[in-house]
Chains A and B, each alone.
Chain A
Amino acid sequence: MVEKAVALSALLFVLGALGALTRRNLIVILMSIELMLNAVNLALVSFSRQWGDLAGHVFVLMVIVVAAAEVAVGLGIVISLFRNRESVNVEDVSLLKW
């Protein structure tokens, strides 16, 4: 079952990457990043199960904590952005683009 879990993790990671790179809604981009992090968690847990090492689980805990922190700060930024620009479309905040 570990191979199948790793395959699922690869699939979810690719889906998340596609979402983060092609969608224009900032919140959907953040959600796609969460999906990528989850795919990585799944890979870590499967490898930890394969080799019986709890370090994988500890790493997954750290990733969950980092994801929670990132969501908190990221959504705070989204709210501030929305207050200033009335839009969460990333194309509206591309002032620094050449």
Chain B
Amino acid sequence: MPVEAIVKVLFMFAVMVIGLAPIITWVERKQSAVMQDRIGANRADLAGITLIGLLHPAADVIKLITKEDVVPAGANRVMHMLSPVIAAVPALIAFAVIPFGGVYQFGDTTLNLVGADIDWGLLYIFAIGSIATYGTVIAGWSSNNNWSMLGGLRASAQMISYEVTMGLTVVGIFMVFQTLRLSDMALAQDSSFRLLGFLAPYLGNDGGVIGWLIEHVRIPGWGLVYQPLGFLMFLTAIMAENKRPPFDIPEGESEIIAGYFLEYSGMRFGLFYTAEFLEVPVIGTIVTSLFLGGWSIPWISTADVIGAVSGVFGHGFATGLCIVLHVLSFLLKVVLMIWLQMALRWTLPRFRYDQVMDLCWKMILPLSIANVFVTGLVILLMAPR
């Protein structure tokens, strides 16, 4: 068994599941409280020490584990038990292909900070996203309850619609970076390009201020810069796919009680809850890898760091420092995306179901096809002759 792969998987698991998911529960309560000008949950304490509510995730877990496990009469027991598992597993295994660092050379060993560097990484994410539909559908159906059934049916229609849109909006990024391998995509975003580069051929000799400006005004080569519309559409589509508010009709908290997980209590609900809050970093990491440059530091490429530090401290130390900086940069971007999703959640009112469907089929789908056309045109026109 390859030790390296196990260590990488454990690292991802530790950071995301044990580190981030409870923090996100806390962030949701605290950020919403701050945004709504109230205090939020801060009563959970350990011998009188409340850490501004940071102990609430632990309190949640204890509560959920010790609650009574109620299976409604007339429900199919096997499916009732199986659906939280089917909902939670895709959220967990999505982290396998996300690069949280680049490829580093230590003498003759190569360290690739991805769980599984598969050639079709992005397709893998879409495939397991489509499996996640089953958790919702089966949860709704197996509870023998009209409201759950309604939530389950709405959820399945919403999820399969937005899967299609998710796929189409990324075609633009695929065309720009020419690869489906997420680590290659992050690597391609590791450089910056000159904003005024189109002026360069018109400058006779590298003259003074203008030449310096052309050379040094640079934009990081992120997916966001190449595909701004794609970024917006993909963010919308993936939030709708994972039923994040404002697209949370299936679990419409105030409409159909709790929708498809109405009849779940105790740790079964806890697993749905975990899946829900794991999807937030999943969205964050995917959007980061595709559009926000992955693990790269804006304006400072890997070669810059290694070149600058290795002269003083040696190549090994420079690479180690690079690893730390890159992983920190990745985590910072993921945290930014989590903040963004939370802010969107507590700002926008919930969409109506027909508005959600309209948005998918009548607005995002035609726009994404137009995006593909325009991207193709631009690539064709700017190709080196």
The answer to A–B direct touch (Cβ < 8 A) is no
| B interface with A by C-beta (< 8 Å) | none
| Chain A contacts to B: CB under 8 angstroms | none
